[in-house]
Amino acid sequence: MTATTRGQLDFAVVIPTIGRSSLAHLISLVDGIPAPALIVVADDRRDPSADLPLPKTRAPLLLVHSYGRGPAAARNAGWRATESEWVAFLDDDVVPAADWCAQLVRDLQDRPPNVGACQAWLHVPRPAGKRPTDEQRRTTGLVGAQWITADMAYRRSALIATGGFDERFPRAFREDADLGLRTIRAGYSIVWGDRVTTHPLISRGGWRSSLRAQAGNADNALMRAKYGRDWRGMTGAGRGRTAVHILTLACAVAALAALAARRPRIACAAGAGWTFLTAEFALERILPGPRTAREIGTMAITSAAIPPLSVSHRLRGEWAVRQVSRRPPKPDQRPRAVLFDRDGTLIKNVPYLADPGHVQPVPGAGQTLAALRRNGIPVGVVSNQSGVARGLITPAQLESVNARVDSLLGPFDTWQVCTHQPSDGCSCRKPASGMVAAAAGALGLSAEDCVLIGDTGADVDAALTAGARAVLIPTTETLPSEVDRAAVVASVAPNLTAAVRQLVGRLG
């Protein structure tokens, strides 16, 4: 067990968010005693230009961005920005207990190394004096469900071993079950803790919510592709209705085809099958509910619409899985641009370098960059320079050093420099993804088209958070844990020339 200098369990808290109003209250609840080593808010809004209402905290608070790529990407961006032994994930709409931090520490304290995760119990309050609606029952179904990340703590070693959440799951539906299953397969166990967290019973989606929920069937296709037919049994997902929905849709199609062919008996038989299956599905949803006129009408309409929607989303998911399997894997694709960290990667690292005369390129940097340019591959620099904010170097000195780098190794197609210090909580400083995204935008590319080469875990995390690839070149100052993690989630190379050759082959 790793402890902080204060003798506490070393844990961080990651909260993915889309900007819900409950976020500030949640942060204040987890900013408790014992204090987390770090609270990370992973902003998954597509446009993070509007500020989030983040409260002041006693524990360090870090804001990272995943730019609308989904909860899996947001959670990955969050945990990769931490260094703690345990990472606790909380959804932004849950309400933990006032002493949640103390409960979490009791749940995690002295767990043997084979325990990879610890899950909380969820409490969903039922509506007073009435039966829950169909939408509300989907929320109450979270009670007792295994591996859901509404409140789930993972050991860092388990996240490294599995690579974290699979970002091919774009919505909060199966990504947590997938990670849980991969954690078990990696040799870890997942245990239940004693802490209890409340998930409010909130109706947000209106009568169309059940229709929108059918998009999750595309994720079911990915689960089947990864784990086979028995994936539901492996993850405790329960029985699905896909086969029944296919039969219902087949009856409807057969009835319409028979009518068009003027085969009334076949049309009547197929229509009767559709009517029976749709009525059975509607009753299954109506009987447990409040049975108001509005709810009955909603269930009747949506029960007819769900089978074709469910099947179409499942087919879309199956098609996407097969298309991806036919493409060459992304790590083998030639990048359209290569981005570099400055200190320790392109030039020898001198802390808070202020004198242009001390700029010294690393061996092979000039030849490698020249070869990339000859082959039409844009190059850029992405560099943290907190010495400006700390008052250790001036903006003019930074500009003169960068000009010297440009004269020795340039020209570079884009320069992205962050002059903030860590406590500023900016979105540009690595491991945040802002500079990587900005560099890609300046080159007219998406982050997925780029690779970032650097010498620290922050470089790797910034690239992965933005959706780019990463290669780590370890130096004497690179932490062993950063090398271990990069070997799982990115790539590791011994030097700059080897890193570029690994990405694009021999350039001549």
- Catalytic residue numbers? 341, 343
Query: Given the structure tokens 């995390």, which residue do they identify?
Result: 461
Chain centroid to CA 188: how far? 21
Contact assessment for residue 274 and residue 268, using Cβ atoms and an 8 Å cutoff: no
User: Residue 345 gets which letter from DSSP?
Assistant: T
**Secondary structure of 240-268 in the HEC alphabet?**
CCHHHHHHHHHHHHHHHHHHHCCCHHHHH
Half-sphere exposure of 270 (CA within 13 A, CB side): 17
d(CA 366, CA 385): 22
Find, among 66, 80, 101, 69, the residue nearest to 14 by Cα. 80
Q: 32 — phi, psi (to 5°)?
A: -110, -155
Alpha-carbon span 416 to 65, nearest angstrom: 17
Phi-psi region of 179 (alpha: psi -120 to 50; beta: other; left: phi over 0): alpha
Rounded to whole angstroms, the Cα distance separating 76 from 14 reads 9
